[in-house]
Amino acid sequence: MADLERIRLVLLGGAGVGKSSIVKRFLFKTYTDKYRATVEDLYNREYELGGVTLKVDILDTSGDMQFPAMRRLSIATAHAFMLVYASTSAQSFQCVQQCFEEIREQRADFQDVPIVIAGNKSDLATTHREVRVEEVTDWVYCELPRLRAKVLECSARDDHNVKDLFKALLSLSRFLPVGNSNESNTGLKRRSSAYVSASSSRNKNRNASPSVSNDKKSIVEAVDVASTSDAKLKPRSRSLIRRASRKTKQQINNAPEDCNVQ
């Protein structure tokens, strides 16, 4: 039976910044201007790499902060984070800083968890910019220098840098070697089409390690295969994870307090 490697990517950020639009543009090559508040949506794909199955979960969370228990659980069980703000909203960047504080408080390993900070709506930034990318990079790389993080601006509307966001997360997660220029002939094949849920079943696969050994092949085509538009949807139950592992709970209880965001 093939080994299973699992990575769970969790998107956090304020309401209306475009988290769902980024995910849907990446997975289905679709975009809509209509806004629908998200409670919690889970997308999943499986890939084969040699004899190893890579399972990628993408969790799109609520931005209105009305479900604190669900947020805590998603933070506790994530292998990587995408923190999304809108380049046109200074308040949304403050929300991203708050999200990072939640990660820092709940995760003892917050400095080792891959984080991509995504500035969406770059297509509107020429006329409505409120957050300069230099401001974000100064915060990430100067005030928080020990994080495993990357900053990118993107546009879900124009499909600008959306694929690069997920490539960056895979690279930071050590699935995809940094600086690899060979993006073809990797032997990666998708096993199953994507499915989305509004989250409610027990997940029997508990927090598998998000990293794989260095001798495995590059999986740069993961993001290329995932962005095909012929994916079929399957419903799943309403809550994606009912509990964190005992190890994760211990990490939360022992979270350090030595990193402050100014």
Match 């211990």 to its residue by tokens: 250
In sequence order, what E strands does the chain have? 3-13, 40-49, 52-61, 80-86, 115-120, 149-153, 188-197
Q: Are strands 52-61 and 80-86 parallel, antiparallel or unpaired?
A: unpaired
Per-position pLDDT tens, the chain of length 262: 344 678 899 999 999 999 999 999 999 999 998 888 888 899 998 866 566 777 889 999 988 777 788 889 999 999 999 999 999 999 999 999 999 999 999 999 999 999 999 999 999 999 999 999 999 999 999 999 789 999 999 999 999 999 999 889 888 877 655 454 444 333 344 454 333 333 334 344 444 434 433 333 334 454 554 444 344 444 444 444 444 444 444 444 554 444 333 3
- The pLDDT of residue 139: 97
Taking the C-alpha atoms of residue 12 and residue 10, their distance in angstroms, rounded to an integer, is 6
Cα–Cα distance for residue pair 177/220, rounded to 1 Å: 9
Residue-range domain boundaries for the chain? 3-253
CA distance 149 to 147: 5
Q: How many residues does the chain have?
A: 262
Class of domain 3-253: alpha beta
Which residue, among 80, 109, 83, 70, has the nearest Cα to 14 in the 3D structure?
83
Q: What is the pLDDT of residue 98?
A: 95
State the Cα–Cα distance between residues 101 and 120, nearest whole angstrom: 20
Q: Which residue has the tokens 């096993």?
A: 191
Buried b / exposed e over 29-54, threshold 16 CB at 10 Å, is eebeeeeeebbbbbbbbbbebeebbb
pLDDT of residue 130: 97
